[in-house]
Amino acid sequence: MSATRDSLPGAADLSTRTGLSTSTGLSASTGDPGLHRLAAGALLISFRGTTAPDWVLRGLEDGLGGVCLFGFNVASGEQVGALTARLNEAARPVVSLDEEGGDVTRLAYHTGSAYPGNAALGRVDDVGLTERVYHAMAADLARCGVNLDMGPVADVNTADDNPIIGTRSFGPSPDLVARHTVAAVRGLQSAGIAACVKHFPGHGATHQDSHLEIPLVDASLDLLRERELVPFVAAIEAGAKSIMTAHVAVPELTGDLPATLSREALTRLLRRELGYDGVVVSDALDMHAISESVGLAEGAVLSLAAGADLLCLGPLPTPEDVRRMVAHIAAAVTEGRLAAGRLEEAAGRVDRLRAWFARPDASAGDESQVVGLDAARRAVSLTGAAAPLVDPFVVELDTPPTIAVGEVPWGVGPWLPQAEIVRVRPEDADAAALLGRARDRSLIVVVKDAHRHPRSRDLVSALLAARPDAVVMEMGLPIWRPGAGAYLATYGAARANAQAAVELLSGGPLVAGL
């Protein structure tokens, strides 16, 4: 359905249909309250803290589409369950978060994930294993009251120096990524958790981070169809309930606009050419690619007009920002810049998604930890021979986290309690001093995406020049492989990846140190 300015539904029609309460201030003091409720229904808001503020609860009663949780909302699984139960007392919201396994986790934000991420699963290339891992993650989400997972990542990571995707991708092959994306969708949705396949039309060929700018995918439409779109086509055929947009510009498709704001990308390509009729979710609008170009409120209008149904706002917008966005969307309809029919279409798709949400499924039970560790063990690789550990000295090279990952713990500490572990900034480290402390001891050097960090490579090379017997453990993508006595590649920095790697060095199963 579409509507022009002259054919917009009247206030009485919309109010009757949506029944808006005005207690939150989400609706304007004048104007159409039903229209404001439709505008609010397109927003996935966020908030700080481990309990829901009153403005969120009132906003849900007044029609907000749902919430997106982050690490700062999580203290424990039980606490998240109580939080989501309270949200459901106010309404029947979409409750989402980013749970990709591997480096990007929200439920395990303070400890690191028990599941390896996509790069490790792609390395193993067992679609049955991928489905089991995602089913186990879905069971964790269901127990906590989450109903939409912002995953899996379906990006084909063809740029080695991609600063934002990397180990979040199943790999560089479209067919590999496609079959594992399908397995992930099946694993999530068989447990009643809606998948949100991301980032359409593909973020894997970029050299910039869309949190900070608008990345460029310099690909023709033919190349896009042969490479980036293959996993999304497969996900659509597998029945993915939602797809997330990318804040990337593809000049031949979107011009200078990011895909999130492009009708050519979301309506012509995704809806018409690929035939997708599920929920289209925007990536977070507070990312600089949107907020620093057109602004939050106008970005919301443009994304809805382009074909998005549900707008993820990200962690930064305040209650005042949310009210302004609702008012701005409603004003755009009144002014004729956004068809009311577009908002109604979006609301209809989100309602169908809510109707699909299944009852929580905890059938994975205790298998969750087992399947995650099994996957990590199958993914880790060892090149060379590591001698038995003697009073190990571990140097972990500090690597700035991406915004998508956040401050999630990583490293070998929980699994090598007998070791002395130092974490150093490569630019500040004294190689000679480190070598002195490692004298007559096993030296283990832990890096993360060393191929992207020249100073990390320089420090590793300096250490290996004096200690060629050292072990190098790469917890990112194993693209740069120095000549070490032993080289371990984990394909991710999750807690499970670290355990699997240390087990190879130690010769047997481990129990976390205190």
- Residues with a known catalytic role: 211, 283
Q: Are 495 and 114 in contact (CB under 8 A)?
A: yes
Which residue carries 């009210």 as its tokens?
323
Q: Write b or e for each residue in 384-419: b if 16 or more Cβ atoms lie within 10 A of its Cβ, otherwise e.
A: eebeebeebbbbbbbbeebbbbbebebbbbbbbeeb
Beta strand 486-489 pairing with 381-384: antiparallel
Q: Which two tokens stand for residue 384?
A: 């060379």
The region that residue 270 occupies, defined by phi over 0 for left and psi between -120 and 50 for alpha, beta otherwise, is alpha
Looking at the DSSP bridge assignments, the partners of residue 68 are 96
Q: Which two tokens stand for residue 84?
A: 């989501």
Which residue carries 């294993």 as its tokens?
129
DSSP letters for 366-398: THHHHHHHHHHHHH-EEEE-PPPP-S-EEEEE-
At residue 320, the 3 state secondary structure works out as helix
Q: 139: number of CA atoms within 13 Å, CB side? A: 18
CA separation for the pair 290, 300 (Å, rounded): 9
CA separation for the pair 102, 100 (Å, rounded): 6
DSSP letters for 401-467: PPTTT-S---SSGGG-TTSEEEEE-TTT--HHHHHHHTTTS-EEEEESSGGG-HHHHHHHHHHHHH-
Beta strands in 9-84 (DSSP E): 43-45, 66-69
Residues in the chain, overall count: 514
At residue 200, the 3 state secondary structure works out as strand
CA separation for the pair 349, 333 (Å, rounded): 19
Q: 169: number of CA atoms within 13 Å, CB side? A: 29
Beta strand 43-45 pairing with 443-447: unpaired
User: Is the bond preceding residue 478 a cis peptide, omega within 30 degrees?
Assistant: no
CA separation for the pair 74, 52 (Å, rounded): 12
Q: Which two tokens stand for residue 153?
A: 């990542």
Q: Are 123 and 379 in contact (CB under 8 A)?
A: yes
